[in-house]
Amino acid sequence: MFSGFVKAVGQLGDPRIRGVVMRAVLFSTLIFVALVITVSWTLSENEIFGIAWLDKPIALLGGSAAFIIGLLLFPAIAGLIISFMLEKIARAVEARHYPDLPPAREEPLAEILTNAARFAGITIVLNLLVFVFVVPILLITIVLIPLIPFVFYALNGYLLGCEYFEFAAVRRLEPPAGRALRKQYRTRIFLCGILIAVLMTVPFVNWLMPVIAAAYMVHVFEDLRKVGENG
């Protein structure tokens, strides 16, 4: 689980993806700032929960609340953007670590856009539903407040694990075969997704995470494919 992550981080300086890293950091920064500004305006102009004692502290928190919500929504938008850079990242990883692989499957642009939009939409909607419906329940039940981070990381760990694994898998397998492999190793992919989700909410680190996650899941996919073939 961690060896692939270390390899992904170690390749950030690779000349073959240096430009991708710079673009990803730029886009990630712009996306994050835009999210925080949008969320801040939404919080200041609207009642979120419709419960005075919940809405008042959120309004008082202002920028801090917007910053936190921006962190939670960032992975979905970042995944949509990185889908256009995935091919170059994957090729760089394969050139360094898997040079004997045959050419990758030509993935149609429509398929790339559909998968990216589907995952981004699901991630945003589910996170907003959790924030609007689940978080208030946990806040009201004060003893359950410590569970809030676990709920978000579990949800996003599952979603990000699925998203980045399938991004990597469909380059080498037809979509049904890629989904079957993901389901076969769902627990390991879920744990990898949690690692990505946690680091996606670390300020500044999260700007590099789309590239790292994409490279990381190429390693995860190749390891699992090898295990499946040998098993």
Is the pLDDT at 67 greater than 80? The verdict is no
Cα 209 from Cα 213, distance rounded (Å): 6
What pLDDT is attached to residue 64?
Answer: 66
Is the pLDDT at 108 greater than 90? The verdict is no
Label residue 188 by pLDDT band (50, 70, 90).
Answer: very high
Label residue 65 by pLDDT band (50, 70, 90).
Answer: low
What pLDDT is attached to residue 73?
Answer: 75
Label residue 5 by pLDDT band (50, 70, 90).
Answer: very high
Count Cβ atoms within 10 A of the Cβ of residue 49 and give its class: 0-12 exposed, 13-18 middle, 19 or more buried: middle
What pLDDT is attached to residue 44?
Answer: 64
CB neighbours of 51 closer than 8 A, spacing ≥ 6?
136
Label residue 8 by pLDDT band (50, 70, 90).
Answer: very high
What pLDDT is attached to residue 29?
Answer: 81
Which two three-digit tokens encode residue 17? 């993806």
Average pLDDT, the chain: 82
What pLDDT is attached to residue 158?
Answer: 93
What pLDDT is attached to residue 162?
Answer: 92
Report the share of the chain in percent with pLDDT over 90: 32
Which two three-digit tokens encode residue 219? 């390693």
| Residue 141 DSSP one-character state | S
What pLDDT is attached to residue 19?
Answer: 87
Number of H helices, E strands in the chain: 11, 0
* Minimum mean pLDDT range among 75-79, 85-89, 221-225: 75-79
